Structure 1
Amino acid sequence: MKLRSLAVAVAMSGAVSGLMLVSSVDNTAQAQETFEWKMVTSWPKNFPGVGQGPERLANLVEEMSDGRLTIEVFGAGQLVPGFEVFDAVSEGTAELGHSASYYWKGKAPAAQFFAAVPFGMNAQEMNAWLHYGGGLELWNELYDEFGVDVLVAGASGVQMGGWYNKEINSVDDLDGLKMRMPGLGGEVMDRMGVAIVNMPGGEIFTSLQSGAIDATEWIGPYNDLAFGLHQAADYYYYPGWHEPTVMFEAIINEEAYASLPADLQAILRVAVRDINADVLDEYTARNNDALETLVNEHGVELRRLPDDVLAQAKEHSADVVAELAESSDMAQKIYDSYQAFQEKVVDYHAISEQAYYNARNPEGDTSAE
């Protein structure tokens, strides 16, 4: 009996060792497996700021993974048009996309809350809401039905009010203008008598120069100078009430993400988080120099939007945002979270950020004129 028991024990030990060996081999094989992904974007290839962010993301992921995960980046129109990025990732044509969520308002209207809300939260506040206020969880919940996950992948900071081919002295001067402005800001301008035209960034200059549109907003001085918009319009207005920031998104095909080993999933998440900060840092560093070039070297007329334009825009914005919130239960859920967080952060920033700005610059914004 003792010998039989010993034989059984040895056999069982060998079986367990075999299973452990097989498991070890499987894990090693998975760790050595390589993945080649495609990333489609809504931006011109290697465009400063928003276009270079995806390139840096791809390089960072390849370096961190020691080449086990490589990402080929495609600019708008190279693999799919800029406005078809979401579909390409959802359908698996590409594993990864970089864009802005307000482009998908036809599919998921509430997605606009995650890109830019007129007179809403800035980049610092949006990042806080998304990462620590439940916003990112809601964003992923919204995208669940499309088979994509989302991570925050950059921010523009406060944008400019736009380029115009005519002087804007009052809200009446907006009536009948054709303007490129996406998202909720575009809906607000539509209610102010502006004919809104949507187009990818790569089409803006030609449309403005040819007269197909009378005005446009893009991002800010750094990108506007790169596009040469000063060659197509004379007047450059601020502030960018319509986009106190645009939050850029990395959208990931769920099945592709699930196929990655856990360490590559973590590498991807960490790399996207790094790029999220890096894109905003770059815009903050580059915009002022670009603005000085536009004004001092190219003679651009920098103007503040008239008070009545801002007042009417704010009034219409409240209506547009409220109507979007009421459009579905999910939209209301997102808006309630957004609004509650904004109320809290505005209260705190009144005695922190805003109070500091006022103390640093007692003359307000007159120094910009």
Structure 2
Amino acid sequence: MKRRKFVTQAGIGTASATVLAACTQSSGPAVDATSLPRIDWRMATSWPPSLDTIYGGAKTISRRVSEMTDGRFTITPYAAGELVPALQVLDAVQSGSVECGHSASYYYIGKNSALGFATAMPFGLNAQQQNAWLYEGGGLEAMQNIYADFNVINFPAGNTGTQMGGWFKQEVKTLSDLNGLKMRIPGLGGKIMSALGVNVQVLPGSEVFLALERGAIDAAEWVGPYDDKKLGLHEAARYYYYPGWWEPSATLDVFVNRSQWDRLPTEYQEVFKAATVEANTTMLAQYDTLNQQALAELIEGGTILTAYSQEIMTEAKKVAFELYEQNARENSTFKEVYENWNAFREAVYRWNSINELSFAQFSYGGE
């Protein structure tokens, strides 16, 4: 593909999908890069390599960028702890000690509570709805405006789909059963659990099993059956709860140091954006494929699959929206994003209650 023919509409959204399809079908690079510079970047991540699906988002971006530039633009991903600790990826990218990073925005809500919208909001949007809001509903623009304050530009680069509700050593049937429980759960979900009496812990994935197995915590959530099985969480707790109401989907982001981004040739920027779209859609497809088999294996092995009680779900939702209203009063940025997000949520819920929910209720319930 000649440089002059490189499709400049590879921005996030429908155009990106078109470019991505063309690049995927091509056996050669997406750009004639011989006149472009050689660039080598490092990508810090929040994930251990053993979690091949979530760490795979970083690898997908790196591989596709290299392939589409004939190896002139290379990105090397690093596991959590190799360059920086798992929960300090944003700080490293902001400072410029690494050019880019792959992480979850809700790890950094202490910097700005509105960053939670980029990953997942309790009782919020599923993966399809989240992508619609980010790509077409103004969500990504809102997030990039916030990240500009950190000298960073972000792009969606993976999604886990709706997550599970975590592993517990004992049953939790009522709200009182949560009181004093020590649980690993990050983000706004953690704040809600804290309001329900849980002693919340925030740990990187690599530390969750040992903490649960040794009794430092009583419960833990990570992602879903495939990753949880890899971490061995089923060996440390028997009760597997659902749904993960705090993460009806979870978008992973790639952070890029804004100064480094601005130095990239436009062609490389467009390739990078297209690669993030591929990572975003591919990860979700992988999780939906792998989780079904992993869950069956867990149940066969003795895992007790249990739904959260209506009492817990109802109170958690109540607390969630009280927290949103409080954050909106205290943080003007959160208020602005929340109003846009909530209006989109209400509208897409109305639509999906007609098309998606009616189909699911009939089809999943059997004839």
TM-score (norm 1): 0.89
Match of 1:344? 347
Does residue 98 (structure 1) correspond to residue 102 (structure 2)? The answer is: yes
C-alpha contact 1:189 1:196 (8 A) present in aligned 2: yes
> Pairwise mapping of residues 110-259 of structure 1 onto structure 2 (< 5 A)?
110-259=114-263
Task: Quote the offset at 1:116 in angstroms.
Answer: 1.1
In the alignment, the residues of structure 2 paired with residue 252 and residue 33 of structure 1 have an alpha-carbon distance, to the nearest angstrom, of 18
Does residue 309 (structure 1) correspond to residue 312 (structure 2)? The answer is: yes
> Structure 1 counterpart of 2:174, which letter?
S
In the alignment, the residues of structure 1 paired with residue 349 and residue 328 of structure 2 have an alpha-carbon distance, to the nearest angstrom, of 20
In the alignment, the residues of structure 2 paired with residue 199 and residue 34 of structure 1 have an alpha-carbon distance, to the nearest angstrom, of 37
> Pairwise mapping of residues 251-270 of structure 1 onto structure 2 (< 5 A)?
251-270=255-274
In the alignment, the residues of structure 1 paired with residue 139 and residue 309 of structure 2 have an alpha-carbon distance, to the nearest angstrom, of 33
Task: Quote the offset at 1:53 in angstroms.
Answer: 1.4
Match of 1:332? 335
Does residue 357 (structure 1) correspond to residue 360 (structure 2)? The answer is: yes
Match of 2:67? 63
Unpaired segments of 5 or more residues in structure 1?
A: 1-27, 365-369
Q: Deviations over 1:304-351 (max 9, x none)?
A: 111111111111111112212222111111001100111110110011
> Structure 1 counterpart of 2:328, which letter?
A
Q: Deviations over 1:136-175 (max 9, x none)?
A: 0000100111110011111111100110010112121111
Q: Deviations over 1:42-90 (max 9, x none)?
A: 1112522111111121111111110111111111101000111001101
> Structure 1 counterpart of 2:311, which letter?
D
Task: Quote the offset at 1:249 in angstroms.
Answer: 0.4
Task: Quote the offset at 1:235 in angstroms.
Answer: 0.5
- Share of identical aligned residues, percent? 40
Does residue 83 (structure 1) correspond to residue 87 (structure 2)? The answer is: yes
> Structure 2 counterpart of 1:315, which letter?
K
C-alpha contact 1:188 1:313 (8 A) present in aligned 2: yes
Q: Deviations over 1:180-237 (max 9, x none)?
A: 1111111111111100011111100000001000001000001001101011101100
C-alpha contact 2:33 2:69 (8 A) present in aligned 1: no
> Pairwise mapping of residues 269-284 of structure 1 onto structure 2 (< 5 A)?
269-284=273-288
* 3-state SS, counterpart of residue 127 of structure 1: helix
> Structure 2 counterpart of 1:304, which letter?
A
Q: Give the aligned CA root-mean-square deviation in angstroms.
A: 1.5
Match of 1:367? none
> Structure 2 counterpart of 1:353, which letter?
E
Q: Deviations over 1:4-41 (max 9, x none)?
A: xxxxxxxxxxxxxxxxxxxxxxxx99834100000001
- Specify the structure having the higher radius of gyration (Cα): 1
* 3-state SS, counterpart of residue 158 of structure 1: coil
Task: Quote the offset at 1:361 in angstroms.
Answer: 2.6
Match of 1:320 among 307, 319, 323: 323
C-alpha contact 1:48 1:226 (8 A) present in aligned 2: no
* 3-state SS, counterpart of residue 119 of structure 1: coil
In the alignment, the residues of structure 1 paired with residue 307 and residue 182 of structure 2 have an alpha-carbon distance, to the nearest angstrom, of 20
C-alpha contact 2:50 2:230 (8 A) present in aligned 1: no
In the alignment, the residues of structure 2 paired with residue 358 and residue 315 of structure 1 have an alpha-carbon distance, to the nearest angstrom, of 25
Match of 1:34 among 35, 38, 41: 38
In the alignment, the residues of structure 1 paired with residue 115 and residue 307 of structure 2 have an alpha-carbon distance, to the nearest angstrom, of 30
C-alpha contact 1:35 1:70 (8 A) present in aligned 2: yes
C-alpha contact 1:123 1:158 (8 A) present in aligned 2: yes
In the alignment, the residues of structure 2 paired with residue 243 and residue 115 of structure 1 have an alpha-carbon distance, to the nearest angstrom, of 8
In the alignment, the residues of structure 2 paired with residue 318 and residue 257 of structure 1 have an alpha-carbon distance, to the nearest angstrom, of 36
* 3-state SS, counterpart of residue 50 of structure 1: helix
In the alignment, the residues of structure 1 paired with residue 277 and residue 303 of structure 2 have an alpha-carbon distance, to the nearest angstrom, of 36
> Structure 2 counterpart of 1:230, which letter?
H
C-alpha contact 1:31 1:261 (8 A) present in aligned 2: no
TM-score (norm 2): 0.89
* 3-state SS, counterpart of residue 245 of structure 2: coil
Task: Quote the offset at 1:111 in angstroms.
Answer: 0.3
